[in-house]
Structure 1
Amino acid sequence: MGIFDKLKKFKNYISGSGAELHLSIDNSLVQTEGRVLVTVFCQVKEHDILVDKLYLKLKAEETVRYRDANYHGTNTRARTTGGTNRTAHATTFKNELIIDQNFRLDRDGEYEWQAEFMIPPNIPGTYVGINAQHEWKVLAGLSKKGNDPDSGWVPFQV
């Protein structure tokens, strides 16, 4: 292994760019059965990767936009001056699902895994209003030495 190969391997180790992860989400069974099917696609670059675990992170988040206004006067004759637009965030659900553990991905390989998770019935579905929204997201990641490659958060409808 030459010096440039070592530098590439080190860059992939630090940046997490040794593999690319993508997701395909099938939420057609959410309304009837409360299930979401996820397919994880992984493309490994030029070096083998020893993986501690492959995981899915699931998150539901509510965002509310409001105006923080200043009120002057009595209750019957109050008037608004100034104020600031603000945004509040709340995580309504968070979970991690481990798909596989302790395995090796060969260089230049392409891999695929399937997973399924249930949407809790007590958590709201997706909605988008004038001042509020509730969004569901999923992320796939490989836990390994160095920086973990992941798919980024991918929103889906519930």
Structure 2
Amino acid sequence: MGLFDKVKSMANAITGNAAKVSITAAPITIGVPFELNIQALASDSTVAYARVYVKVRGLEKIDLHDRDRDGTERIRRKETTFETEIVVEGAGELAAHENKTWTCEVSIPGTAPAIYRGRYAEHFYEAQAALDCTGNDPDSGWVRLQHA
């Protein structure tokens, strides 16, 4: 491994670009288990990870305009209503340019808030998959789960 490769490997660890991670799911129903598919593609070097994990959360957001004699104020609030984290696989390694896929089953309890979208408020669920690596974990970003 040359100096440039070492610098590139360090940069990938710091930025989270060591692997490209994506997550997909079929439409979900609250209270019914569903599958999440996780895919990771290593970049130019080997990626060692301590675990592969998935986070699922429920979010309620409001966005409204409050008009009064002082003018208009935009009110935005966000509240987490549900959170869970699932370890999909323990420690492992992806070789350079290796593509690997995992599947895990997740269940959002039937007592969790329903998915809705109104004029000023909405409640939805989203998932994020990641590889637990040294430095910044490569992750999929938060992906909204669609209701069946």
TM-score normalised to structure 1 length? 0.85
Q: Which of these residues, 50, 69, 88, is aligned with residue 52 of structure 1? A: 50
Q: CA RMSD in A?
A: 1.6
Report how far residue 83 of structure 1 moved. Answer: 4.4
List, as ranges, runs of 4+ consecutive aligned residues in structure 1 with deviation greater than 3 Å.
66-70
Task: Verify the 8 A CA contact 1:50 1:104 in the aligned structure 2.
Answer: yes
What is aligned with 1:37?
35
3-state SS of 1:23 partner = strand
How many residues align? The count is: 147
| Deviations 1:56-90 (CA, angstroms, capped at 9, x unpaired) | 000110011234455xxxxxxxxx55341201111
What is aligned with 2:81?
92
Which amino acid in structure 2 is aligned with residue 59 of structure 1?
A: R
Task: Return 5+ residue gaps in structure 1 as ranges.
Answer: 71-79
Which amino acid in structure 2 is aligned with residue 141 of structure 1?
A: A
Q: In 2, distance between residues paired with 1:62 and 1:120?
A: 16
Q: In 2, distance between residues paired with 1:88 and 1:4?
A: 45
Residue 125 of structure 1 pairs with residue 119 of structure 2: no
Q: In 1, distance between residues paired with 2:109 and 2:99?
A: 32
Task: Return 5+ residue gaps in structure 2 as ranges.
Answer: none
Task: Verify the 8 A CA contact 1:27 1:35 in the aligned structure 2.
Answer: no
What is aligned with 2:91?
102
What is aligned with 1:76?
none
Residue 147 of structure 1 pairs with residue 145 of structure 2: no
What is aligned with 1:77?
none
Task: Verify the 8 A CA contact 2:26 2:146 in the aligned structure 1.
Answer: no
| Rg (Cα) greater in structure | 1
Deviates more, 1:87-96 or 1:119-128: 119-128
TM-score normalised to structure 2 length? 0.91
3-state SS of 1:8 partner = helix
Larger strand proportion, structure 1 or 2? 1
Report how far residue 22 of structure 1 moved. Answer: 0.8
